[in-house]
Structure 1
Amino acid sequence: MKLPIADGRTIRRRLGGLVLAYRGQLAGVLVLQLGAAFAGIALPWVMGRVVDQIQAGTTLEWVRRVMIGTVVLVAVGAALSFLAEYQARVLGERVFAKLREDLVETVTHLPLSTVEGAGTGDLLGRTTHDVERVQFMVRQGISSIMVLATTIVVTVVAAVATSPLLAVVLVVEVPVVGALMRWYLPRTVPSYRAGAAAWADLSGVANETIDQAETVDAARLADLRAARLDRSIREIWRLERYGAWMRVVLVGCLGLAVLIPVLLMALVGAWAIGAGWTTLGVVTTMTLYAYQLRGPVWEVTFWVDQIQSSEASLARIFGVDLVDPDREPTDARPSGREMRVRGVRYAYRAGEDVLHGVDLDLRPGETLAIVGPSGAGKSTFGRMLAGIHPPTAGSVEVGGVELTDLDEDVLQRQVVLVTQEHHVFVGTVASNMRLARAGADTGEMWDALAAVEADQWVRALPDGLDTRVGAGGIPLSPAQAQQLALARIVLMDPHTLVLDEATSLMDPTAARSLERSLGLALRGRTVIAIAHRLYTAHDADRVAVMMDGRIVELGAHDELVAAGGEYASLWKSWQRG
């Protein structure tokens, strides 16, 4: 399964919308660039006038005044160009920031089932390599393309106004450049798209290999993973080398194409002067116009190539927004805290159920431990209870409302899932905490940290809550990162909490102490604890035993041990271990 790829129409609409969101700044940049362009075309016109006036026998004083005016004109043009470039770069940064913010917003709300089906590599490639490939285009391309467009249009208009006859020479290079681009683009655009996909594949392979390094070593898969990485790198090298050679050909041909109008203007101008159809000054002006267009035409082809390269990445970035939602929230609100599970089935692949008609009633305020062998469906069921995955069949309700009918913000106030996976975000401890609740004050954060027994080591940090952690800051151990994640949950204050091996990265003694402290902090809330350590089940109000996607036993610890069933066997094995 792959995430969608946006088509050209969607790319143009989304990118145009991003730019037009800053239409005020865009208009200001255009005004400045038009002023700079008019200053630029005025200089060749002045030079032509000077040539004609010298031929007519003007005075040195007139030439001196014109030269002083020319210097002033150049200074004004340079100032306008600087201001236009500065404002355009600022605009580009704002557009790029908005692009990244929109992508992050979209990614954080993607259906988890879609992300799991597509694999982390595809999404990682879109949020890293693809974003990096478009940043040059967005940051500098917007300003450069606007400069080129205004320069070409204003110069051509000025050339036509100066000499319609000689202006025809300026368009001679258009069919040459057009033919060159028609040959070039069909041969390179597919390689850009394939290259973007290849980079995503490499990101996925590298990320999976590094994240699961212990499994790779244990299963002796190092050679296989290295060979897989080598194949991805060879494919990227092949595509990048092909693209580089195509650009060499393009640059060489363009170097000749953009010289054609300059040479022709000199030749045709000399003939026109001899025929008495124009003056030396006009030919001078037109030749300078042709030379001025040489750079912009060259750059236009460069940016056309960049646009095609960036389009492949933009198609992948904007494609993330095309993922179909896995639910349609309504305005329904729960009338209580009771959770009911009826006939829940779930299949990661059609026809291959992982859960088989599970029924369960959760009592408000109770602690329910879910135990069972690996692969029994415990984590999948926990995600159903947290509303992460909508069930394939059946229903999961809270307060009489389906979890999948709840808006995301409302859902997170009802039930939250905490897994053994954790992440420390770049920033301070306080900013990491406020991800859960932006308005949390210092006292509330210290209370949350104390609830998960993390306040002592946070106080020992150089700047306490204001200490920078994560990349570029003080590194946190896996256990500390897990405590920070649990503290965020305390701040979120949901009435139901699903803990999926949430203390697995701690040693058993520390984990049990933390669970007891967390239990005190979450007193009165419903807690579903999915665990392999059976002391969690021993301390719970009830225990649910899952086998092959079904709840086969449900009751208190002592009752299940006395019954001598599956739980009793698990408990005996645990005690022997």
Structure 2
Amino acid sequence: MTTALPVASNKDVRAYVATLARRHPRMLWGALGLHLLAAGAALAPPRLIGDLVESVEAGTTAGHVDLLLALLAGFLVIQVLLTRYARLLSQVLGEQVLAELREEFVENTLALPLGTVEEAGSGDLLTRTGRDVDQLNWSIRYALPEWTIACLTAVATLVAALTVGWWVALPCLLGVPALVIGLRWYLRRAKDGYLRESATYSQINSTLTETAEGSRTVEALGLQSARVRAGDADIAASFRAERYTLFLRTVFFPAMEISYLVPTVVTLLFGGWLYTQGVCSLGDVTAATLYVQMLIDPVDRIVSILDELQMGNTSLARLLGVAHVPDDRVATGAEPAGERIRATDVTFSYVEGRDVLHGISMDVGVGERVAMVGPSGAGKSTLGRLLAGIHPPRTGAVTVGDVPLVDLPLDELRGHVALVTQEHHVFAGTVRDNLVLARPGASDTEVLDALAAVDAREWVSALPDGLDTAVGSGGRALTAPQAQQVALARLVLADPHTLVLDEATSLIDPRAARHLERSLAAVLEGRTVIAIAHRLFSAHDADRVAVVEDGRITEFGPHDELVAARGSYARLWDSWRI
């Protein structure tokens, strides 16, 4: 079972929002100021209408009525203009905030320890980068500005209503109990409900991804029904989670309807009674009723959008939670004294209490080529990841120049040792873009030389636009061997001193792979190479061979000596040659 990535607390979310506000004070206060002015302009018509009613009651002239109507039209035009520019400024602010948040999320995601990503699974991270970003996009671009406008309008309208007379406060207070009780009940349950809902989407994505990636295994073992049942169970859990949040809304919204309909009715009835008692004028009753009636729209928007903001708050908490994943290494500033790779009494476990590596020790000389062989599941790839600094050992140490790999910053670590696996990603962009990721300042000559080193220059030059040919999503699709060659050329450009090759040529046919490895050997002359492979010609060409079985190194020495010892390696060599 995968472990979900952390979720930020409400305190962390509030602190982040406050930080965003401090970054853009002018735009924020400018937008709020324009919204307040627009709300103020909207408050003039009810008062003017009340004065018009009083004027008609007392007897007036057509000129006075025309003046009031002209003022009414003028305030409406002013409100429209102010609202237009207030919304424009709010949208611009929202776009900037969203862009910053996306950049920070991508930066935090790329900085995640690889072990944490593998433990959490792809579903949770995909849901955060997809659904949560989309939800937050809606919340920041539309929901938050609209909610801010509604809050300012509601406050301004309430203040204007109270200026009509003290008695308007009584009808407004009657709506408060239902409002407070409903909000407290809803907010206490909403975040947990939406977090559970988002978690079910993550689980659905995980199950779908695992089924798609392992489709051949599912088909070979006849697991179709089991995978369908797993998907059905995930959907059922998602249905229950969504039904719960729907239940919250069906209780919350009717309570809110009562909270802002009751004041309107009571204002009209109570104001009418006060008019009959001579306490207030008909114009006051008219203005007060219109003001309280005006409260319905902003309060209704506050209530409706609050649900969207709760989902946005949940999404923001999930996005910010990525930054709360603890580092799996702490840079000490120690400088390696050389490039010698050493593993000393290393143990490692993916699950607590179940070690997959047991007391491994190995010393790889500078410039030495070591091959790691052994049966599938023996721990070769796991050991390779420790030697590349991807995972920290549970006990023991893996060092370069007597400095633990986990004590080095990632940028510095990759200058000492790099891992290349059989899984390669082609990024959307040109061939050149994909290669210079390893060295942004690389010239075309250096890029072409790197391609030549991995036997890829010829087919890249034959592409329609050469290095400028678009590849990846939306571009030209590369074959698996071509993608692997691009990854290897990227490695040549990166120029690390030590390489850990984990089945790095597995997608290339054996004859081409042998030729490629010989080409790489010429390029990597003087560098330390640790190659993990099932093709034993790599072991034959290596300086020493490490045989990994059941999480232990059972044999370690030159090819000829191991063959002569007639142990596990000799049996592997004999079976491979048959």
TM bracket, shorter-chain basis: over 0.9
Aligned to 2:399: 397
The C-alpha deviation readout for 1:135-162, integer Å capped at 9, x for no partner, is: 3222222212221221112212222223
| 2: CA distance, partners of 1:473 / 1:541 | 42
Q: How does 1:556-575 map to 2 (within 5 A)?
A: 556-575=558-577
CA contact (8 A) 1:499 1:528 kept: yes
CA contact (8 A) 1:414 1:496 kept: yes
Match of 1:234 among 233, 236, 258: 236
| 2: CA distance, partners of 1:275 / 1:181 | 37
Q: Percent identity?
A: 47
CA contact (8 A) 2:144 2:309 kept: no
Letter in 1 for 2:317: A
CA contact (8 A) 1:185 1:305 kept: no
Match of 1:325 among 324, 327, 334: 327
Structure 2: gaps spanning 5 or more residues: none
TM-score by length of 1: 0.93
Greater CA deviation, 90-99 or 202-211?
90-99
CA contact (8 A) 1:206 1:229 kept: yes
Letter in 2 for 1:71: A
CA contact (8 A) 1:18 1:99 kept: no
Letter in 2 for 1:177: L
| 2: CA distance, partners of 1:28 / 1:494 | 51
Aligned to 2:361: 359
| 1: CA distance, partners of 2:190 / 2:146 | 22
Greater CA deviation, 369-378 or 512-521?
512-521
* 2:369 aligned with 1:381: no
| 1: CA distance, partners of 2:322 / 2:419 | 24
Aligned to 1:161: 163
CA displacement at 1:329 relative to structure 2: 0.9
* Gap change, CA 1:187 and 1:401, over 3 Å in 2: closer
Aligned to 1:95: 97
CA contact (8 A) 2:6 2:318 kept: yes
| 1: CA distance, partners of 2:545 / 2:392 | 24
Letter in 2 for 1:118: A
* Gap change, CA 1:544 and 1:93, over 3 Å in 2: same
Q: How does 1:36-435 map to 2 (within 5 A)?
A: 36-186=38-188, 188-435=190-437
Counterpart secondary structure, 2:334: coil
Counterpart secondary structure, 1:353: strand
CA contact (8 A) 1:5 1:318 kept: yes
| 1: CA distance, partners of 2:132 / 2:545 | 47
* Gap change, CA 1:304 and 1:449, over 3 Å in 2: same
CA contact (8 A) 2:178 2:258 kept: no
Query: CA-atom RMSD, angstroms?
Result: 2.3
| 2: CA distance, partners of 1:521 / 1:171 | 81
| 1: CA distance, partners of 2:464 / 2:154 | 58
Aligned to 2:457: 455
Match of 2:554 among 552, 555, 567: 552
Aligned to 1:492: 494
The C-alpha deviation readout for 1:362-400, integer Å capped at 9, x for no partner, is: 222232211111122211111111111111222222123
CA displacement at 1:50 relative to structure 2: 2.9
* Gap change, CA 1:545 and 1:310, over 3 Å in 2: same
| 2: CA distance, partners of 1:466 / 1:46 | 67
Greater CA deviation, 391-400 or 46-55?
46-55
CA contact (8 A) 1:125 1:201 kept: no
Counterpart secondary structure, 2:316: helix
Letter in 2 for 1:133: Q
CA displacement at 1:442 relative to structure 2: 3.2
Counterpart secondary structure, 2:6: coil
CA displacement at 1:189 relative to structure 2: 4.5
Counterpart secondary structure, 1:259: helix
| 2: CA distance, partners of 1:449 / 1:24 | 51
| 1: CA distance, partners of 2:510 / 2:102 | 41
Aligned to 2:482: 480
| 2: CA distance, partners of 1:323 / 1:557 | 43
| 2: CA distance, partners of 1:440 / 1:48 | 75
CA displacement at 1:81 relative to structure 2: 0.9
CA contact (8 A) 1:344 1:358 kept: yes
The C-alpha deviation readout for 1:492-542, integer Å capped at 9, x for no partner, is: 221111111112122222322322222233332211111011111122232
TM-score by length of 2: 0.93
Aligned to 1:535: 537
Letter in 1 for 2:430: T
Counterpart secondary structure, 1:51: helix
CA contact (8 A) 2:328 2:392 kept: yes
The C-alpha deviation readout for 1:29-55, integer Å capped at 9, x for no partner, is: 112211211111122222223333344
| 1: CA distance, partners of 2:5 / 2:354 | 22
Letter in 2 for 1:270: G
Aligned to 2:470: 468
| 2: CA distance, partners of 1:220 / 1:234 | 23
Letter in 1 for 2:137: Q
CA displacement at 1:407 relative to structure 2: 0.9
